[in-house]
Structure 1
């Protein structure tokens, strides 16, 4: 296992094909700061640029995943009047959205405000049974951030998104699961093992190039008014895949009943998705 230095609000470690990004301000219940936003964005880009990394796990140190913005101590606050300013949650969610690796968020304790919106671009949100959630912006005189006005209705539907965001109320893990906000529930002790079990499954059996193309294309196609754009992309992708080494390996490993060893690399083999 290797650990990157230079971060002060997160920890970034790599263990084989899995990168872990750990929110690491437990003394402040992992309260979100501008510095944390910048460091999370940098860590996501670091994972994306390493072909040996297949999956990213996002978790939190201490008793809570993230209680939202730390209003008392916003480390690294910058000038919001600058024309080039980027809203802090977007600094995390945008690179996560465009990432070429699956992202698993392991959520425990409180995930409130940006503590939940920053995870909406993840592919899997596993939650502990003790977790609680809240899009509390209206109760603070604030507004939803990190593209959550786009993501949340697509995940749970417009009616539920309106209910949660307009009321700003807290809700528990069972309600989050029933609405589809989280993928699965686990006891607090089993949350991280479950996240890493899923991460190892993805890293072992899923072709990295396929995963990248799928997760990015799903976002792109979610806004298409008809399936015609998807039909056109399918034609291009499938035509190229028919002669790809990844397809040959996928078929061979299936027939030989063994784990696959996909040769495709995202940095050199990802097809044009436009």
Structure 2
């Protein structure tokens, strides 16, 4: 891969890309430029067939304190133009946490977030599009938007109720109160809790289970099938996509290898690659274009 942008570190091992937020002096608070850089990293990861799983974590004692509210770091601290002056056609005036969430949503590789410490605001919400979230036992979480006089971002008003249910999403969002990792686990925000020194090994073990055993093209398709089904109005929509997927995969080299390796009781070596072997019906959804909300 090319040079890694400032405030990030990237470790590539055993088909796993680990992205480390590396701004510990600011509790890994995000700026718009960092958001653009993270989106670009995911663009690079999607086309690298050696990468099969992504882990995201933070340096220091926090995962991410949210958007950087300093004068240099956040558009929230500068004069906002009147709605009629805003050009909504490009990304510059959009919530930059949402740019991250939507890019993770579109990712063709599974994404694991390892909350090494506390997370607030977009430090929580940009992680909602990940497939798995693990946390250190002493991590704390907060969604303090109403306490800052703003509203949810990172498309969290769509993601959060689908993950934890509407009543919990309302309580966390409307109160803005801090809650412990134990509550995050009980409500389904995170998959598991770990001593902080065991967190990354646990994330890597989960990643290895996927990267060593599952066909990358099947993983990419399955990930998108499950996420996109959240917006389907009838199971027939899922049935149509599954039927096309089964037909395409049954003719691919991966299926023969999957069956042969199972019968021979050996580890699979799947030949198909995400960069070249996605079926011709993918993507099956029409792109959603950003438009003026007014």
Same fold, judged at TM 0.5 (above):
yes
Q: Which residue of 2 aligns with 1:157?
A: 165
Contact 1:66-1:112 at 8 Å conserved across structures? yes
1:17 and 2:15 correspond? yes
- Which TM-score applies when normalising by structure 1? 0.94
Cα distance between partner residues in 1 of 2:148 and 2:34: 21
Q: Secondary structure at the match of 1:155?
A: helix
Residues 112-261 of structure 1 aligned to structure 2 (within 5 Å): 112-261=120-269
- Structure 2 unaligned runs (5+)? 285-294
Contact 2:67-2:74 at 8 Å conserved across structures? no
Contact 2:68-2:74 at 8 Å conserved across structures? no
1:88 and 2:96 correspond? yes
Cα distance between partner residues in 2 of 1:219 and 1:6: 29
Cα distance between partner residues in 2 of 1:75 and 1:42: 19
Q: Secondary structure at the match of 2:64?
A: coil
Query: C-alpha displacement at 1:180, in angstroms?
Result: 0.6
Cα distance between partner residues in 2 of 1:152 and 1:241: 32
Cα distance between partner residues in 2 of 1:76 and 1:131: 25
Contact 1:34-1:74 at 8 Å conserved across structures? no
Q: RMSD in angstroms over aligned alpha carbons?
A: 1.7
Deviates more, 1:150-159 or 1:4-13: 4-13
Deviates more, 1:219-228 or 1:122-131: 219-228
Contact 1:113-1:136 at 8 Å conserved across structures? yes
Cα distance between partner residues in 1 of 2:133 and 2:43: 20
Contact 2:61-2:117 at 8 Å conserved across structures? yes
Distance 1:145 1:266, change over 3 A: same
Query: C-alpha displacement at 1:204, in angstroms?
Result: 0.5
Query: C-alpha displacement at 1:68, in angstroms?
Result: 1.1
Q: Which residue of 1 aligns with 2:290?
A: none
Q: Secondary structure at the match of 1:239?
A: helix
Cα distance between partner residues in 1 of 2:106 and 2:216: 14
Cα distance between partner residues in 1 of 2:119 and 2:214: 29
- Which TM-score applies when normalising by structure 2? 0.88
Cα distance between partner residues in 2 of 1:207 and 1:150: 29
Post-superposition CA distance 1:178-234 (Å, at most 9, x none): 111001111111001111111122110111011100111112111111101011111
Cα distance between partner residues in 2 of 1:43 and 1:6: 8
Cα distance between partner residues in 2 of 1:11 and 1:146: 22
Q: Which residue of 2 aligns with 1:268?
A: 276
Cα distance between partner residues in 2 of 1:76 and 1:144: 15
Residues 105-116 of structure 1 aligned to structure 2 (within 5 Å): 105-116=113-124
Contact 2:29-2:67 at 8 Å conserved across structures? yes
Q: Secondary structure at the match of 1:65?
A: strand
Contact 1:4-1:11 at 8 Å conserved across structures? no
